[in-house]
Amino acid sequence: MKQIIFGMGNEAITEGALAAGARFYAGYPITPSSEIAELSSIRLPRLGGMYVQMEDEIGSIAAIIGASVAGVKSYTATSGPGFSLMQENLGVAVMGEIPCVIINVQRSGPSTGLATKPAQGDVMQAQWGTHGDHGIIALSPSSVQECYDLTVRAFNLAERYRTPVILLADEIVGHMREGYQIRELLPHDIIDRKKPTCPPRDYQPYDFSGEEDEIAPLAPYGSEYITRINGSGHDESGDACGRPDNAAKFNSHYLNKFRINQKDIIETKSFDLDDAEYAIITFGCSVRSSKAALKLARQKGIKAGLLQLVTIWPFPKEQVREVCSRVKGVVVPEMNLGQILGEVSKTNPGQIPIVGVNRVDGQMITPYEILARLEEVAK
Amino acid sequence: MNYMDYLKTQKFPLFWCGGCGNGAVLGAIVRSFAALDYTLENTVVVTGIGCWGKADDYLTTNSFHGTHGRALAFATGIKLANPKLRVIALMGDGDGVTIGGNHFIHAARRNVDVTAILVNNFNYGMTGGQYSGTTPENSLTSTSRYGHIEAGFDICKLAEAAGAPFVARTATDNPPAMEKLISEGLDKKGFSFIEVIAPCPTHFGRNNGMRQAAELMQWVKDKSVSVAKAKTMSPEELHDKLIMGKLVDVDGEDYGSKYLRVIASASSGNEE
Amino acid sequence: MKETWQVIFSGVGGQGLMLAGTLLGSAATGYEGKNAVMTSAYGVESRGTFAKSDCIVSTQEIDYLEVMAADAVIALAPVAYQKYVDSLGEDTLLIYDDAIETLPSKARQLAFPIAKIAKDVGNISSSNIVALGILVKITALVKEHSVVKAIIEEFWGKEKLINLNLEAFKAGLAISGSK
């Protein structure tokens, strides 16, 4: 095989899923994610895996959750309308603590929106779309190579932290073609969920006491252990439980497990930030426009730098706060009306201007728009 | 194994109301598990939400307690990912064929090898007796105080039309018949569907002048005709009747078995 | 040697504009260690309306994906030619089918019998590959043999398609040599 493949983001996502060991896909086709379904339907059975097209996205996420508890790494791909339908059972994966990967190739919304046009409007939905308090992991690729790498990482994080992970891609990175490498993964590059080692009669699928990372081992159905999965309030054994102290313990756990492991989960990338006086903070496809804007700004004598949020959720508060604490102004380009801007603003000590560059017309933000904003802030 | 081994007796008494049919169905299921030598480790009971959705609380097998209406979609993933598992979905009428109707017809059409046991008590019991997709026309419920104006589903016809290879209807007043049909359904390869008519005296009964379970069972009895007798009756005579017994039992290759051929084709590079 | 080439393949849906861009990108990234990015724009309909592929090839990292100032535009249909002809500057190469009526333009215009050549080598639908041959010959933005390898890879196992596309590519190389 040649080293570099010139391929589409959606292809690289599929290759990443397969490389990470995923062998089950259930989904409902939707633009601009359908290439993932199509390629998965071809590639999975060749690897002894399975592709099944469900009746809707509610069923799709249910099926991958079920398959995951049966011991097979599972994924689905969708876009806004389908992601909305998935919110109900995304909650089951949160509360049932089931590893799985949901790829959302974002498109313009609300509702059907501009079906073939890009957007980055599902940032808040990824965290808060399903009801109740909980943490989540969302990663956002900005290149075809990152589509591959972050999909592998999404599965690893899902397995390690017994959680759904959302790959928050967008139409631009999903459909663009670029050279990328199917990196060879060594056994230690692939993480599998913790398995119980206790005697079967002692096994409780939600007992995280004694686990430093607060993650309880998960035995697949069909093993010597009995696994009881519950999307209703439950105790350590998985049995329904309505005791207030138990509810408080577990509802806090759904957030805490991300907090205590955030060093491992959160990833950002820095460009030219060392001497920067102004920072661009962005993610996904807008990283591309921002990198071009950064070069234009430097040519014009504006000392700009860029912080790319690879992990969107949990939000990289410390990294953002650190950047905000040492620059004179921040520009946040995003193809929505300020969803990340709000999170960045929350971390701001309050002295510096933090402004957005926003587009919701289905068109990519241009480097010149970002440059113009940087120039305003630097004035 | 003894049927008691499948029951979490420490969770008794059952949460269901006096006169409710759910306990009898649960008994028939565990006796069938025992008769068919199901192991706890290899059995997964998937439940929805509702009174009958609490059934997994009392079982010692693997379990998956998911969301309202989605039991069959979870069950589909579980079974397809590990075909060796025995997967049983327990749903109510609101759960299985009202909010979950789409998953129901497609699981039947796809012929996934799971057994769906739907307890039909003609209303939403857990939330206070509102009407469901199976509530008979003209009945009173807590949301049809002026008489229900929608027709209820004939769920077995729905399952048959969707392609289920095994369809049966039974009721809690005849435990041996119920257990026999549940056992047959569990043992059947492919999507097998058993509708169990069960009384809800607390809501449906009380709202419709049948406060006692016995009155409700009599009402069911009066509506019931056997498969054999139904063959001699006209469509007009069968209107409003519940045909009891095994309605469909045909052979058809299940999804998982068919998919093995997809895997074989794909492995030899024949996708185009 | 030019560091970055910004190329637009334009025409109508169904003319293989994405394939042309993909082969160029594959040649650059897979066989020359360069960077390349391709994006496409098309209507909801798959065929018949204006469509284009932007392909950027560079020895440097490519940040922004869309072509901001085209170095070369290939127009395989009147609707595409008319869209670009007015707006291009003198540094841009405009390669188009000679069946399209020529309009005044600041761009460096080069008309070739692209569709006719494609028909001669066996299939009018190879116009995209003929055009790619013309582009590569005139600009040398990638090496000819890199495209040959990219074609063989793209159609691996399909001898007929490999031969058809290689012939179309070579015909494009040959005709452009005449200008």
The three-state (H, E, C) secondary structure of A10-79, written as one string: HHHHHHHHHHCCCCEEEECCCCCCHHHHHHHHHHHHHCCCEEEECCCHHHHHHHHHHHHHCCCCEEEEEC
> Residue B141 — left, alpha, or beta (φ > 0 → left; ψ -120 to 50 → alpha)?
beta
Ordered by start, the domain boundaries in chain C are: 4-176
- Spell out the residues 6+ positions from residue B170 whose beta carbon is closer than 8 angstroms to its own: B177, B178, B181, B182, B194, B195, B196, B197, B244, B245
User: Min CA distance, A320 vs chain C (Å)?
Assistant: 22
B185 touching A (Cβ < 8 Å): no
pLDDT band at C46 (very low <50, low <70, confident <90, very high): low
E-strand ranges in B115-223 read 115-120, 123-124, 130-131, 166-171, 192-197
E-strand ranges in A287-366 read 304-309, 311-313, 329-334, 354-358
Residue A23's closest CA among A67, A55, A88?
A: A67
Q: How high is the mean pLDDT of chain B?
A: 96
Higher pLDDT, B247 or C175: B247
DSSP structure string for A148-164: HHHHHHHHHHHHHHTSE
The span from the CA of B134 to the CA of B124, in Å, is 10
HSE-CB of B61 using CA atoms within 13 angstroms: 31
Residue B72's closest CA among B46, B110, B44?
A: B46
Residues B121 and B53 sit within 8 Å (Cβ to Cβ):
no
Take residue A21 and report the two structure tokens written for it.
């060991």
Do A131 and A231 fall into the same domain? yes
Do A122 and A245 fall into the same domain? yes
Q: Taking residues B162-182, report their average pLDDT.
A: 97
pLDDT of residue C179: 54
The span from the CA of A17 to the CA of A77, in Å, is 11
The span from the CA of B120 to the CA of A63, in Å, is 25
**Which CATH number, 2.60.40.1180, 3.30.70.20, 3.40.920.10, 3.40.50.360, labels domain C4-176?**
3.40.920.10
Residue A281's closest CA among A237, A339, A363, A228?
A: A339
| Residue carrying the six token digits 């084709």 | B265
Nearest CB partner across the interface for A177, out of C38, C63, C64: C38
**Which A positions 59-78 lie with beta carbon below 8 A of chain B?**
59-60, 62-72, 74
Do A314 and A227 fall into the same domain? no
The span from the CA of B99 to the CA of B96, in Å, is 7
Q: Do A45 and B266 touch (CB under 8 A)?
A: yes
pLDDT of residue A1: 44
Do A140 and A95 fall into the same domain? yes
Encode pLDDT of B103-120 as tens digits: 999 999 999 999 999 999
Residues B46 and B75 sit within 8 Å (Cβ to Cβ):
yes
Residue B208's closest CA among B136, B109, B127, B120?
A: B136
| Range scoring the smallest mean pLDDT among A280-284, B253-257, C37-41 | C37-41
Residues B109 and B163 sit within 8 Å (Cβ to Cβ):
yes
Q: Which of A237, A265, A293 is the last residue of a domain?
A: A265
Residues of A in Cβ contact (< 8 Å) with B103:
55, 58-59, 62
Encode pLDDT of B3-44 as tens digits: 999 999 999 999 999 999 999 999 999 999 999 999 999 999
- Each residue of A79-88: b (16+ CB within 10 Å) or e? bbbbbbbbbb
Is A28 exposed, middle or buried (CB count within 10 Å of its CB: 0-12, 13-18, 19+)?
A: buried
- Spell out the residues 6+ positions from residue A142 whose beta carbon is closer than 8 angstroms to its own: A173, A283, A284, A285, A286, A287, A288, A308
Residues of A in Cβ contact (< 8 Å) with C38:
6, 176-178
Domain that holds residue A185: 1-265
Do A326 and A226 fall into the same domain? no
Decide if pLDDT at C140 tops 50. yes
Residues of A in Cβ contact (< 8 Å) with B40:
226
Q: Do C25 and A366 touch (CB under 8 A)?
A: no
Residue B97's closest CA among B147, B43, B167, B149?
A: B167
Encode pLDDT of B212-230 as tens digits: 999 999 999 999 999 999 9
The span from the CA of A73 to the CA of A56, in Å, is 20
Q: Taking residues C51-60, report their average pLDDT.
A: 96
The span from the CA of A54 to the CA of A209, in Å, is 37
pLDDT above 70 as % of chain C = 96
Do A169 and A313 fall into the same domain? no
ipTM above 0.95, yes or no: yes
Determine the Cα angle at A227 with ends A225 and A228, to 5°: 150
Residue C94 to residues A103, C80, C125, C126: CA-CA distances in angstroms? 40, 11, 20, 19
Nearest CB partner across the interface for A179, out of C35, C39, C65: C35
Do A84 and A136 fall into the same domain? yes
pLDDT band at B271 (very low <50, low <70, confident <90, very high): low
Nearest CB partner across the interface for A179, out of C36, C66, C153: C36
Do A251 and A368 fall into the same domain? no
Q: How high is the mean pLDDT of chain C?
A: 93
Angle, nearest 10°, between helix axes B101-110 and B155-162? 40
Do A192 and A296 fall into the same domain? no
The span from the CA of B195 to the CA of B85, in Å, is 22
Do A238 and A319 fall into the same domain? no
Do A229 and A281 fall into the same domain? no
Do A317 and A187 fall into the same domain? no
Domain count across chain A: 2
Q: How many A-B residue pairs are in contact by the CB < 8 A criterion?
A: 144
pLDDT one digit per residue (tens) for chain A, 379 residues:
458 999 999 999 999 999 999 999 999 999 999 999 999 999 999 999 999 999 999 999 999 999 999 999 999 999 999 999 999 999 999 999 999 999 999 999 999 999 889 999 999 999 999 999 999 999 999 999 999 999 999 999 999 999 999 999 999 999 999 999 999 899 999 999 999 999 999 999 999 999 999 999 999 999 999 999 999 999 999 999 999 999 999 999 999 999 999 999 999 999 999 999 999 999 999 999 999 999 999 999 999 999 999 999 999 999 999 999 999 999 999 999 999 999 999 997 677 999 999 999 999 999 999 999 999 999 8
The span from the CA of A66 to the CA of A88, in Å, is 15
CA C101 centroid distance within chain = 19
Residues of A in Cβ contact (< 8 Å) with B259:
45, 50
Nearest CB partner across the interface for C65, out of A4, A6, A288: A288
pLDDT of residue A11: 98
Q: Residue A332: helix, strand or coil by DSSP?
A: strand
The span from the CA of B178 to the CA of B159, in Å, is 18
pLDDT of residue A2: 56
Q: Residue A246: helix, strand or coil by DSSP?
A: helix
CATH of residue A302: 3.40.50.920
Decide if pLDDT at C178 tops 60. no
Q: Do B77 and A26 touch (CB under 8 A)?
A: yes
> B3-267, what's its fold?
Rossmann fold (3.40.50)
- The model's pTM: 0.97
Residue B132 to residues A117, A170, B202: CA-CA distances in angstroms? 40, 40, 16
pLDDT of residue C48: 74
Q: Residue A238: helix, strand or coil by DSSP?
A: coil
pLDDT of residue A349: 67
User: Min CA distance, C173 vs chain A (Å)?
Assistant: 23
Q: Which of A241, A265, A289 is the last residue of a domain?
A: A265
Dihedral of the CA atoms C41, C17, A43, B64 (nearest 10)? 10
